[in-house]
Amino acid sequence: MSQRHAVTILGTCRAGTEPRRPISLLDISEDGCRFFEQHSRLSVGQPVSITIQQIGPFDAIVAWKDDALVGVRFTKPIYGPVFDHIRNQLDNPEWRPDPA
């Protein structure tokens, strides 16, 4: 399993033929991500498509859900240089709250 990195990146999530819904990515690895989706109707095992800003879509499966927090596992790992670009160029740490 690859290392997760805290991020604050806007994206979208689409389940089936439903419209894309806005999400806020909270952490990411080459294998998956955790995000916040307000009023999420996703369920464990559901296939979804994740777009990270303009990059993607990445096919994924919902691995777990806790109210509006969702964890997904990508069906194929994100290619290393693409992952590095997402992590290093798209992250906006100024949006993250200060650790308590």
The answer to whether residue 12 sits within a structural domain is yes
The answer to whether residue 100 sits within a structural domain is no
Nearest-angstrom CA–CA distance, 68 and 54: 23
DSSP-based three-state secondary structure for 100: coil
End-to-end CA distance of the chain: 28
pLDDT tens per residue, range 68-81: 999 999 999 999 99
The answer to whether residue 38 sits within a structural domain is yes
Site of tokens 């798209």: 90
The answer to whether residue 98 sits within a structural domain is no
Q: Which domain holds residue 60?
A: 5-93
Decide if pLDDT at 100 tops 50: no
CATH code of the domain containing 36 = 2.40.10.220
- What does the pLDDT read at residue 92? 81
Nearest-angstrom CA–CA distance, 45 and 24: 20
pTM, full prediction: 0.87
Number of domains in the chain: 1
Are the beta carbons of 27 and 34 closer than 8 angstroms? yes
Nearest-angstrom CA–CA distance, 87 and 79: 12
The answer to whether residue 99 sits within a structural domain is no
Decide if pLDDT at 99 tops 80: no
pLDDT tens per residue, range 7-52: 999 999 999 999 999 999 999 999 999 999 998 899 999 999 999 9
- What does the pLDDT read at residue 76? 97
